[in-house]
Amino acid sequence: MKSRLFGSTLIIAGTAVGAGMLAMPLTSAQMGFGMTFILLFSLWILLTFTALLYAEVHQYSPIDAGIATITEQYFGITGRLVVNFILLFFMYAVLTAYITGSGNLLFNLIPKSFNLDPVKAQKIAALLFAILFGTIITIGIALSDMTNRLFFTLKVISFIVLLYLLFGKFSFSNLHYAPTNNLLVISALPVFFMTFGFHICTPTINEYLQGDHQKLKLAAILGSTGIFLIYIIWQMATHGVLKQGDLVAILNKDPSLNGLITAFEITTGSKTISEIVRVFSVLALTTSYIGVSLGLSNAVKDLLAHFNLSKSNLMVGAITFIPPIIVGFTYPTIFLSAFAFAGVIFAFIGVILPVLLVYKARKKYPDGKRVKGGNISLILALLFAAVIIFVGSFPELLNLPSVVG
């Protein structure tokens, strides 16, 4: 069981740590390290708490029950359908972000002889990325697993090498920059919130741990703590190497992942570092893309089976990948926007839904084991989610400063 606990912790950390890391330096460029640390710490506490809420409701459901099944247990078939729709919408938004991000990272690989402008080159690069890895996922889980293991291993190696090189250029004085506007921490909420999005894998972890809810809680705590520490190290490395003024100036000209890579090259004077950043970014995007695509394709299969429709690999692949490809091809520069939009949807999956499920479960099973905090903690979590949804949905109404990118 100890090896299962360790594996579960890695699954949780691996689900969250990926492409979301790439959005962090873009979003936190004007915030400074101190404010970034406070934001990450707050989100770590909140989303560890809501993961524990999911663990609490799992004790009253079958071991193999998914989020939609548990929702039906308390809110009927209507609740199940609503949650299924939101989960699908969420994964489509995330895939769209990954596809557009891939185009921004890979468009330089398209031969100059094609004489394409950058926007067209990004569209073609994103399309090729989506089709290549979409085909791998459509072929089956075995090939997807082999590909993911390879890319995950390369991602870890590139991240370690990158940190080693970056800390050679590190300056503690760069960590002392104050935010250019204190309200930036609110503007950054949806994107940063999304980077802790591991909650959709709690049913899988619960089944893997054979319904041991104490182990599930421990895995959630250890996994989320690992996520938090990795993010802090990554933010220290980027903020400690890149001076705030230089980074903001570069990203104002090119508010994209490619702009971040340019910032590393100009600031460090090292083409090697900037290219390792690019390699790590592509690997992080790819592993995240594979993971979310597998989850979405499984959801599509379940939906087709529910309506007694064909669930051939070709049909499932088409429904899984064509919508985000169309959106990404039409709007090739919406990486951060799509990620922030996914963050708004995740406020429901990661906070509102577990709070509602726990509230119902505690009324139905008053003697079960409970996460500490009582109703006050549930209300505070709901208020936090409401802020994230409002900020992400109506930024102009609040007149908040825009993060770089």
Q: Which residues contact 222 (CB under 8 A, 6 or more apart)?
A: 5, 9, 12
Contact status, residue 192 vs residue 261, Cβ threshold 8 Å: no
Predicted pLDDT of residue 11:
78
Spatial neighbors of 290 by CB under 8 A, at least 6 apart, are 133, 136, 137, 144, 147, 148, 151
List Cβ neighbours of 232 (8 Å cut-off, separation of 6 or more).
Answer: 37, 40
Which token pair is 222? 């250890």
Tell me if 404 is assigned to some domain. Answer: no
Domain that holds residue 17: 2-398
Query: Which pLDDT does position 113 carry in this prediction?
Result: 61
Give a yes or no: residue 405 inside a domain. no
pLDDT at site 145:
80
pLDDT tens for each residue of the chain, 405 residues long: 567 888 888 878 877 877 778 778 888 888 989 999 999 999 999 999 999 999 999 999 988 888 888 999 999 999 988 998 898 889 899 899 889 988 888 887 777 767 788 888 889 999 999 999 999 988 887 888 888 888 888 988 999 999 999 888 888 888 988 888 888 888 889 889 988 888 888 887 888 888 898 999 999 999 999 999 999 999 999 899 888 888 888 888 887 778 888 888 888 889 999 899 889 988 888 888 888 888 888 778 877 876 777 778 889 889 999 999 999 888 888 887 888 888 889 999 999 999 999 999 999 998 888 999 999 999 999 999 999 999 888 877 778 887 764
Q: Which long-range contacts (CB under 8 A, 24 or more apart) does 106-113 make?
A: 106/282, 107/258, 108/258
CB 208 within 8 A of CB 4: yes
Q: Where do we find the tokens 């989850």?
A: 295
56 domain residue, yes or no: yes
Predicted local distance difference test score (pLDDT) of residue 49: 97
Q: How far apart, in whole angstroms, are the C-alpha atoms of residue 41 and residue 39?
A: 5
- pTM, two decimals, is 0.85
93 alpha carbon, distance to own chain's centre: 11
Q: Which residues are CB-contacts of 231 (< 8 A; sequence separation ≥ 6)?
A: 17, 21, 24, 40, 195
- Residue 211's domain is classified under what CATH number? 1.20.1740.10
CB 283 within 8 A of CB 21: no
pLDDT for residue 115: 77
What are the residues whose beta carbons fall under 8 Å from the beta carbon of 122, sequence distance 6 or more? 100, 103, 104, 107, 332, 333
Q: How many domains does the chain have?
A: 1
Supply the pLDDT for residue 245: 86
Question: What is the pLDDT, as a whole number, of residue 364?
Answer: 92
Nearest of 110, 111, 152 to residue 127 by alpha carbon = 110
Classify the C-alpha dihedral 262-266-271-276 as positive or negative.
Answer: negative
| Residue-level pLDDT at 404 | 60
pLDDT at 1: 57
Residue 403 lies in a domain: no
Contact 293, 95 (CB under 8 A): yes
List alpha helices for 107-182, DSSP H: 118-139, 141-167
Long-range contact pairs involving 248-254 (C-beta distance under 8 Å, separation at least 24): 248/29, 248/30, 248/180, 248/404, 251/26, 251/29, 251/404, 251/405, 252/404
Q: What size, in residues, is the chain?
A: 405
